[in-house]
Structure 1
Amino acid sequence: MAVPSPSAPAVRTEGLGKRFGPTEAVVDLSLTVPPGEVFGFLGPNGAGKSTTIRLLLGLLRPTTGSAWVFDAPAGEVARAHRRLAYVPADVSLWPSLTGRECLDLLAGVGPGTDLAYRDQLLERFALDPDRRARTYSSGNRQKVALVAAFATRAPLLVLDEPTSGLDPLMEREFRACIAEAAERGQTVFLSSHQLAEVELACSRVGIIREGRLVEVTGLAELRRLRRAEVVADLSTPAPELQRLAALPGVSDLRWPTPVRLELSLTGPPGPVLRALADADVAHLEMREPSLEEIFLDYYGQGPA
Structure 2
Amino acid sequence: MSKTTRIAVLGSANMDLVVRQPRLPQPGETIFGSGYGTVPGGKGLNQAVAAARQGGAVDFLGAVGADAYGHELRDLIAAEGIGAAGLAEAGEPTGTAHISVVDSGENSIVVVSGANATVTALTAGQEEIIRQSAFLVMQCELPVDALAAGIAVARAHGVFTVLTPAPVVPLPEGFLASVDLVVPNQIEAAELTGESDPVRAAELLSAGGTWAIVTLGSEGCVVAYDGEVLGLAPARPVKALDTTAAGDTFVGALVARLASAGGGLADGGPVDGAPVGAAPVGISDERMIDAVRWATVASSISVTRAGATSSMPTLAEVAAILA
> What TM-score, normalized by structure 1, do the two folds share?
0.29
Larger radius of gyration: 1
> What TM-score, normalized by structure 2, do the two folds share?
0.28
